[in-house]
Structure 1
């Protein structure tokens, strides 16, 4: 596992993204906290993220490549468009999928409801260039404290990710969940 800074990642992004394309999990910064993710279309990679988090019955969210991707792949009405206008930002929008093949079934666990984000962070431009959604979930074993600095990174997770893009300590809170399927807002 390599620990790299933004400049190193950008300099060698094709090398690192080829690891993602091959199904490797990695850790990256966002506008809120660090995320652990993988290519959301790769079922084996998604299952690996679940195993790292020891989480089997809660769906994952994704960083969408663009608002267009969300419009093309999710059911978006008037209320959803209003919230879509707030992206990029510190929100996860819970939407129904209309394209059932947009992500691996393992991401949403078969209910075709998905959390989508576009963080207000340079990493979103990488997802845009990659062209496919990236799984996004907090870096921790399920129900344990989230990673705010490298020293907090669980040893098991550290050993099983390809690389970590590290920006120093993150003191923010996870994104605000806007459930547009159930009509609920959840601050975490």
Structure 2
């Protein structure tokens, strides 16, 4: 497993984007905590994330490439538009997809037609812009265990399953706030 920083990402961008398109699974920083990511349209890559997290059935969130992507692929009413206007930021907005086929079906194995949308206030969103496709984002940990805040507390079993880590030092954030607009549950704090 390789560890890189933001500058190394930019210097090696074409190679790293190709790795992601080819199914790489990686740890990335966000505006809140570290996440595990992969191409959200690549079913095999998403399955590797499931295995790393030991998470069978719960849905993953995605970092969307743009607001335009969200509007083109999700049902966006007035309330959703108001929340989208708060992005980028530390929110996950759960919306109904217009077509399930825009992401791999195992991103949300519940098959309820929803997806959690993120647009972190962080340079990592550039990756989705550069790919022009969403990436999975889920906390960098085994489900139910402490999430990663620095390399010292990255679970060894998770680390073994990563192709690379984009690291920028310790993160002291909390996971994003969830806003469920698909089921009209509103704000859900975690």
SS of residue paired to 1:171: coil
Pairwise mapping of residues 123-134 of structure 1 onto structure 2 (< 5 A)? 123-134=124-135
Alpha-carbon distance between aligned partners in 2 of 1:83 and 1:111, rounded to the nearest angstrom: 21
Pairwise mapping of residues 5-154 of structure 1 onto structure 2 (< 5 A)? 5-109=5-109, 110-154=111-155
Alpha-carbon distance between aligned partners in 2 of 1:157 and 1:18, rounded to the nearest angstrom: 22
How far 1:126 moved relative to its partner? 2.0
How far 1:156 moved relative to its partner? 1.4
How far 1:129 moved relative to its partner? 1.3
Alignment deviations for residues 15-62 of structure 1 (CA, whole Å, 9 cap, x no partner): 111111111100111000001010000001101101100001110000
Unpaired segments of 5 or more residues in structure 2?
none
For 1:180, the equivalent position in structure 2 comes to 181
Alignment deviations for residues 132-175 of structure 1 (CA, whole Å, 9 cap, x no partner): 00000000000000000001111111111111010100000010
Could you say what the CA RMSD is over the residues aligned between the two structures, in angstroms?
0.8
Alpha-carbon distance between aligned partners in 1 of 2:130 and 2:167, rounded to the nearest angstrom: 20
How far 1:184 moved relative to its partner? 2.6
SS of residue paired to 1:101: helix
Alpha-carbon distance between aligned partners in 1 of 2:113 and 2:24, rounded to the nearest angstrom: 24
Alpha-carbon distance between aligned partners in 2 of 1:144 and 1:83, rounded to the nearest angstrom: 29
Question: Normalized against structure 2, the TM-score is what?
Answer: 0.97
1:161 partnered with 2:157: no
1:171 partnered with 2:172: yes
SS of residue paired to 1:148: coil
Alignment coverage as a number of residue pairs: 188
